[in-house]
Structure 1
Amino acid sequence: MRLSRLSRTALGIITVVILVIVYVPLFVVLVNSFSTSRTLSWPPPGFTLEWWERAFQSAGAMEAVATSVQIAIVATIISLVLGTLISLALQRFEFFGREAISLLVILPIALPGIITGIALNNFFRTIMGVPLSIWTVVIAHATFCIVTVFNNVIARLRRLGTNFEEASADLGAGLWTTFRLVTFPQLRSALFAGGLLAFALSFDEIIVTTFTAGSGVTTLPIFILNNMFRPNQAPIVSVIAVVLVLVSIVPIYIAQRIAGTEKTLR
């Protein structure tokens, strides 16, 4: 499709405006993490590495990072197992209600976080009678992280078809052997990409976490929210926010690279 010069110019301007709106605030946060000011003022009066040193020496911040990593790892593992099994069931088998189940699996990622948080809070505390803890956060995160794995795996299964699996069965291989030697090797990159996205999604989630975390559970996003307006904490929060952005970007970038490589190979 060919666009006129006016259309290309208009699209270029719109693109630049959107990128400015999205990334200039992130740049301001980055600069403020090196500011000598104790508040989020602009422009910064000077630059220092003091806040970076304090952030990495903060026991509360390091504990919040460790908690977020632990939750994200466990939620990702659960998502990889359940997301893969659901994908195989929905793509490889015909049964009544298959489309309805597919919709229910995808729905948690589409629901507003506050709705999911309230629903899970009521489920854990009222119906199950379970006290909120780090495990309720893990379960809550897994409910929407499964979707990223599910989408990646089922898309791959649809492209692969069943020829290789049927050939394996014809040669006498059992279900587990076929999965281990035929299906899984073809799904590895999709699982890796889905797992990276699930980890990033869990690591910086705050709304659902707020409703499902107990009083003693502080993830990194909650730590940032609790300390953002405290005296002399704003620059440290900026440092942590920068680290959070970097941690979130890396898995997403790797997942995109994997997808781009696969498209090139095809």
Structure 2
Amino acid sequence: MRLSKPSRLTLGIVTGVILAAIYLPLLVVVLNSFSTSKSLTWPPPGFTLEWWGRAFTNAGAIQATGTSLLIAVIATAIALVLGTLISLALQRFKFFGREAVNLLVILPIALPGIVTGIALNNFFRTILGVDLALWTVAVAHATFCIVTVFNNVIARLRRMGTNLEEASADLGAGVWTTFRLVTFPQLRSALLAGGLLAFALSFDEIIVTTFTAGEGVTTLPIFIMNNMLRPAQAPIIAVIAVVLIVISIVPIAIAQKLGNGVGEVKGK
């Protein structure tokens, strides 16, 4: 499709405005992390590296980062296992209700976070009768992290077809041998892309975390929310936000590169 010059100009202006609305606030956060002001006034009265030094020696921030990393690793591991198994089941087998199961697997990524959080809070506390803790957060994160793995893996399975797997079976290989030597090598990039996206989603999740974290469980996003309005903490929070931006960009960029042609990349 070819666009006229006025149409291209209009499209370019609209795109530029949208990108500016998204990324200019991020640029302000980056600049504020170097500001000498304790209240993040704009424009910054001066620039300093003091807040970066304080942020990397802040005990609360370090502990919260460790908690977020642990939860993200657990949620990603669960998502990789269950997302792969569900993808194989839905793509390689035909059974009654397959389309319904497919919808139910994808649904958590489409639900508002507050709905998911309330539902899981009630499930853990009322139905299971357990106290909220770190593991409840990890399980809660896994519910939507599974979708990113599922989307990437099932898209790859559809592209792969079954010819090589059938040939392996004809040569006498069992199900596990076929998966290990034929299926898994072709899924590795899709699994890596899905795992990176799942990790990024879990690491900066706050809404579901708020409803499923028990006392004493403070992830990095919750630490940021709790300290944003405290005196002299705003510049440190800006530094942590910049670090989060980098942590979020890197895995998503890698996953997008790996996922080109694998399937649609979706986020929560």
TM-score interval for Structure 1 and Structure 2 normalised by the shorter chain: over 0.9
Matches within 5 A, 1:20-169: 20-169=20-169
Amino acid at match of 2:103: L
Runs of at least 4 residues off by over 4 Å: none
Q: Does 1:257 align with 2:257?
A: yes
Compute the displacement of 1:257 (Å): 1.6
Q: Distance in 2 between matches of 1:173 and 1:77?
A: 28
CA separation in 2, counterparts of 1:193 and 1:62?
Answer: 27
TM-score normalised to structure 1 length:
0.97
In 2 relative to 1, CA 189–101 (structure 1 residues): closer, same or farther, beyond 3 Å? same
- Does residue 208 (structure 1) correspond to residue 208 (structure 2)? The answer is yes
Task: Indicate if the aligned counterparts of 2:87 and 2:154 stay in contact, CA closer than 8 A.
Answer: yes
Structure 1 pair 260–154 and aligned structure 2 pair: CA distance change class (3 A): closer
SS of corresponding position for 1:258 = helix
Question: Secondary structure at the residue paired with 1:57?
Answer: coil
Deviations 1:209-238 (A, max 9, x none): 000001100000000000000111000000
Q: Which amino acid aligns with 2:136?
A: T
Give me the whole-angstrom Cα distance separating, in 1, the residues matched to 2:27 and 2:222: 22
Q: Write the distance in 2 (CA, Å) between the matches of 1:163 and 1:20.
A: 48
The question of whether the paired residues in 1 share the 8 Å contact of 2:156 and 2:262 is answered with no
Q: 1:256 to 1:99 in 2, by over 3 A?
A: same
Q: 140-149 vs 253-262, which deviates more?
A: 253-262
Unaligned runs of 5+ in 1: none
Which residues of structure 2 form unaligned runs of 5+?
264-268
| 3-state secondary structure, aligned to 2:56 | helix
User: 2:56 touches 2:62 (CA, 8 Å); kept in 1?
Assistant: yes
Identify the residue that residue 266 of structure 2 maps to in structure 1. Answer: none
Contact 2:152 2:259 survives alignment (8 Å): no
- Provide the rounded CA distance (Å) in 2 between the counterparts of 1:6 and 1:157: 43
**Structure 2 match to 1:6:** 6
Quick one: distance in 1 between partners of 2:262 and 2:83? 21
Contact (CA 8 Å) 2:155, 2:262: kept in 1 or not?
A: no
1:259 deviation in Å? 2.7
Count how many residue pairs are aligned between Structure 1 and Structure 2.
Answer: 263
**Cα RMSD after superposing both structures:** 1.1
Q: Distance in 1 between matches of 2:260 and 2:53?
A: 38
> Partners of 1:165 and 1:186 in 2: how far apart?
11
Letter in 2 for 1:105: V
Relative to the length of structure 2, the TM-score reads 0.97
